[in-house]
Amino acid sequence: MKIYLDNAATTPLDQNVFEAMTPYFLNHYGNASSQHGPGREAGQALEASRATIAGLLNALPEEIVFTSGGTEADNIAIVSAVTCNHIDHVITTPFEHPAVLQTLRALTAKNHTRISYIKHDGKGNLDLSHLEYLLRTNTRNLVSVMHANNEIGNLNDIVQTGELCEKYQALFHTDTVQTMGHYRHDLSRLKVHFLAASAHKFHGPKGVGFLYRSKGQRLNRLIHGGGQESGLRAGTENIPGIVGMAKALEIAYGQMEQDHSYIQNLKYHLITRLTETLPDVQFNGNSADLNKSLYTLLSVSLPGTDTDLLRYLDTEGIAVSGGSACSGGSASHVLKALGTDAARTAIRFSFSKFNTRAELDQVAEKLAAVFRLAAA
């Protein structure tokens, strides 16, 4: 039995994506910067993929910059926004991914950039009136707020956030790594200047992502070398990965409503089963609220037990996590910011279109068995 419920860390590659990538490993292997036939062929695939992604997002192709993933995209966006626009005040949340928080801390140490954190309630809901206060009482602001949290699944209102940024002439960066391919993003309407995404979160390959930067926004190079990506990001482009990412996003947009409904029903089913079988289960943040959380993720806290639940589930062939895969097993800054009881075991279940209700029934039963044994 192998049950994979850690899709927030990475998703399995879609077979159709693999098939789209394969020719660019075996047959069309030219360097997109080369001027000969194979190079031009690779260059055409590169620009066709850029056009596909831009078209799905209602963006301009030149606004899409390919990166090695979401972390690099976040780093480029934040460093560029601060240094190219003389930003001296960044407004963010304590729940952001380390790619954002650690970049901001590095900038604070180097550039004396001030950081303010938006107030939140016990569920992690952001106080947008406090955001407006911070915008109104400071100048030269950058706001960095993720669309959905990767540990507790809270959805943030990036539409209203963008409108507030426009009202107070602030720059807005959002990390959409958990929502790209799962929600529709219309960048012709969203008031955002920088947006980060990563292919392996929507059944594309690892090691490739993109940064959207709205027209007119300058970028600072983090990687120096050749003139790839219109001189914005040096390094030979990962053509198979970029082709796969475009294909994965195309598939995701084509069946988004169907997948959303199917996966949300899986999540609701697990909520129901856990509530029935584990009366002391707690749900972190807005995780159990289907209207306020990412439909692909459920974060729970279970009472303390002598059993290492994560390791136990692993030995039973069930892959889950305690939080962000990027945290390397360290204590979750997200759960700490929420004030979650550290004595309880946090488990993050995250789902994909490849999961089934039968799998979730097995998971609920395995967990219930542990607590029945402990109570015996």
Q: Could you give the 3-state DSSP secondary structure of residue 160? A: helix
Q: Could you give the 3-state DSSP secondary structure of residue 183? A: strand
Q: Which residues 6+ apart lie within 8 Å of 99 measured at CB?
A: 70, 71, 74, 75, 175, 196, 326
Give the helix, strand, coil percentages of the chain, each rounded to 5: 45, 15, 40
Residue 25 identity: F
Report whether 166 contacts 188 (CB < 8 A). no
Report whether 269 contacts 360 (CB < 8 A). yes
Residue-wise over 234-270: b if at least 16 C-beta within 10 A, else e?
eeebbbbbbbbbbbbbbbbbeeeeebeebbeebbebb
Q: Which residues 6+ apart lie within 8 Å of 84 measured at CB?
A: 217, 218, 219, 220
Question: Distance (Å, rounded) from C-alpha 196 to C-alpha 176?
Answer: 6
State the Cα angle at 293 between 159 and 253, rounded to 5°: 70
Structure-token pair, residue 228: 């790839």
User: What are the E-state strand segments in the chain?
Assistant: 3-4, 64-67, 89-92, 114-117, 141-144, 171-175, 194-198, 209-213, 282-283, 297-302, 318-319, 345-350
Token match 């996590």: residue? 321
What is the distance between the terminal CA atoms of the chain, rounded to a whole angstrom?
27
φ, ψ at 362 (rounded to 5°) = -65, -40
Report H helices in 36-97: 37-57, 70-84
- 165 in active site: no
Q: Which of 84, 159, 326, 331 is catalytic?
A: 326
Q: Which of 286, 199, 288 is nearest to 248 (CA)?
A: 199
Catalytic residues: 326
